[in-house]
Structure 1
């Protein structure tokens, strides 16, 4: 850790001088007072400035805080889990591993999505940069993606046969994105979203 000794007319001045040299705020350092200021004889002879030592603390890691939060929530749900961290290009993936994770995933991943939202709040509250965390359990995200892509293909075939549009069940923005991506550029059908969150739905229609 970086340490710096700074001085000033008062302890507060010494701390301010040290923070200016380090270029950080006070919450990023640990302060130890080495010497109190002394006016000396007649305020002139033997006068001494205050001296403090500033120790730079490590950068806060929002992901570590998010994992700790996730472990606490899982424990409160009666689940014993381990969390694997994977640093990806634009996000951090947290894979939850353990038994009986259906409770953590919820119906169609609704509980998992809610936890992901909370985990992102916790992570960004303890980070100096924006973090995007993707929460997964038992490879649910990948299995759900395959399910949605298969659904998109089946519904597209039905629209082609009937020449009538089909409105799908409400989905999250991430799930709608999977459907849109799967049918993007399809020669016979098009997709668009309608309605308001949380009941926004995808419509698959003939071109």
Structure 2
């Protein structure tokens, strides 16, 4: 008797292999950049089910983060372009510096929880701040799991945002 889970284990293995390759290429790029900038830093790689996260630790400076994460966003784009150019496929790597993105994501989740509570209380939509596609996906997932509300993205990049609304 066979049970079909809807996913091909071979495809999952291929995705993990691709994520490993993407992460290694991203880490090499970031290491090269640290060398050029003569910055210290250790690189940690974490491969999750749908993406790889390359985190630079112990840089000792906010130089790679920049104001409101602007430099980190630019670094993310450079890494994405480099990995995609080498692999000729979409990159699934996120770059973080000293946990900045992780802290920001947790703040966004907390704001989303507050917005969900506000929507339930007032029955009026609440707009969240603009965020990138990955962050929006996390907010949509949070809203979907909360129940009683719906979410949609509105606006154009880079001002695209999630709006939480009461469920019909």
TM above 0.5, one fold? yes
- Out of 138, 147, 160, the position equivalent to 2:107 is 147
Secondary structure of the corresponding residue to residue 126 of structure 1: helix
CA distance 1:62–1:202, change in 2 (3 Å): closer
Contact 1:101 1:137 in 2 (8 A): no
Q: What runs of 5+ residues in structure 1 fail to find an aligned partner?
A: 1-60
Which residue of the partner structure matches residue 104 of structure 1? 64
Does the C-alpha gap of structure 1 residues 99 and 201 become closer, same or farther in structure 2, counting only changes over 3 Å? same
Greater share of strand residues, 1 or 2?
A: 1
CA RMSD of aligned residues (A): 2.7
Q: Partners of 1:63 and 1:165 in 2: how far apart?
A: 38
Cα distance in 2, alignment partners of residues 200 and 80 from structure 1: 35
Residue in structure 2 matched with residue 199 of structure 1 by the alignment: 159
Work out the CA distance in 1 between the residues paired with 2:101 and 2:83: 20
Deviations 1:42-71 (A, max 9, x none): xxxxxxxxxxxxxxxxxxx76555334323
Aligned residue number for residue 174 of structure 1: 134
* Number of residues of Structure 1 aligned to a counterpart in Structure 2: 147
Structure 1 residue 136 displacement after superposition: 1.7
| SS of match in other structure, 1:184 | helix
1:121 positional shift: 1.7
* 8 Å Cα contact 2:23-2:53 kept in structure 1: no
> 1:1-16, aligned counterparts within 5 Å?
none
The separation in 2 between residues aligned to 1:195 and 1:203, in whole angstroms, is 10
Listed one character per residue, the Cα deviations across residues 165-206 of structure 1 (whole Å, up to 9, x for unaligned) are: 122221111111111111104333221111111111111122
Cα pair distance change 1:78/1:158, threshold 3 Å:
farther
Higher helix share: 2
Unpaired segments ≥5 residues, structure 2: 1-20
The residue number in structure 2 matching 1:190 is 150
The counterpart of 1:160, out of the listed 120, 129, 132, is: 120
